[in-house]
Amino acid sequence: MTFTIASAAREALTALIVDRARREKEEDDRKTREYEEVSYGNLGDMGIDQTANGQAEAERTRGTPVTHDSFDQWRKRFTAELRVKREREEDERVKALPTREREDYRRKRERASGEWCHFS
């Protein structure tokens, strides 16, 4: 008898969850349709072709396809910009240090530490 009650409760809970998910999806779809009607519905009143506007919007938001080469070019530019930004921030931080600490920092930075050794 306990098994029957537990099984019935589990089935009822599953049905409740599925029903709730279906209602949320329907509500989301309804809101999306209403938004599109409001957004594009006024365009017809202004004499603008809705399909052309939709195509123009899709064209505007499509963007550039990413290829391996274009990604490498972007990554090189991005890392160079990031390096410049970090160096600028580091310089500003060093400038804010007192004179004695600034000299110690520069001595430590110029000292050979084995880090970032590149033989090219």
Cα dist. 107→3, 88, 102, 110 in Å?
A: 76, 19, 9, 5
pTM of the model: 0.39
In this predicted model, what pLDDT tens digit does every residue of 35-73 receive, in sequence order? 877 766 555 555 555 566 677 777 777 777 889 999 999
Cα dist. 7→18, 22, 94 in Å?
A: 17, 23, 69
Residue located via tokens 């990031």: 82
Residue type, 25: K
For the chain, the structural domain boundaries read: 1-63, 65-111
- pLDDT of amino acid 120: 46
